[in-house]
Structure 1
Amino acid sequence: MKYREAARKLKRLGCRELPRRGRGSHRKWHNPATDRAAVLPDWGARDLKLGTIHAVVRQLGIDWQEFEQS
């Protein structure tokens, strides 16, 4: 799964991307429902590792099944 796909799913689940601070290839996401934040790498066209996506979803307090279905 690429960053854009993951970002689209997170937006559908109510998360929002926090403003960028400086340079770099990572973006910070916030889930207002759980008041948790996590960092998601933005590697452009490269696929993100499944374990990385799992960790971000868990850190944001989102159920994996819910993330997959969105």
Structure 2
Amino acid sequence: MPKIPPVDSRRLIKILENFGFRVVRQKGSHVIMMNEEKTRIVIPVHPGRKVKPGLVRAIMREAGISREEFFKILKKK
């Protein structure tokens, strides 16, 4: 399995939307997303900067997304 790459925050939001998360609100440079089970995910949004692999991995864990599912959606977009 390849390494998790840095991902643009807007792209990460689109990936999470594919898994049933929706943007609930934004406070400053952080977008808060939630799914039907009320799982809350916070995505930092900084123009021109990507979300680092460690944080992407932590977000995937919180969202319950496997590496295989993540890479499958990442390749589509």
Unaligned runs of 5+ in 2: 1-6
What are the superposed Cα offsets for residues 7-62 of structure 1, whole Å, 9 maximum, x if unpaired?
11111121111122xx4111111122x43112111112211101111111111122
Higher strand content, 1 or 2? 2
- Amino acid corresponding to residue 26 of structure 1 in structure 2: H
Equivalent of 2:48 in 45, 48, 56? 45
Aligned to 2:22: 16
Q: How many residues align?
A: 67
Unaligned runs of 5+ in 1: none
State the TM-score, normalized to the length of structure 2. Answer: 0.74
Structure 1: which 4+ aligned runs deviate by more than 4 Å? none
Equivalent of 2:65 in 28, 41, 62? 62
State the TM-score, normalized to the length of structure 1. Answer: 0.80
Percent identity, please. 28
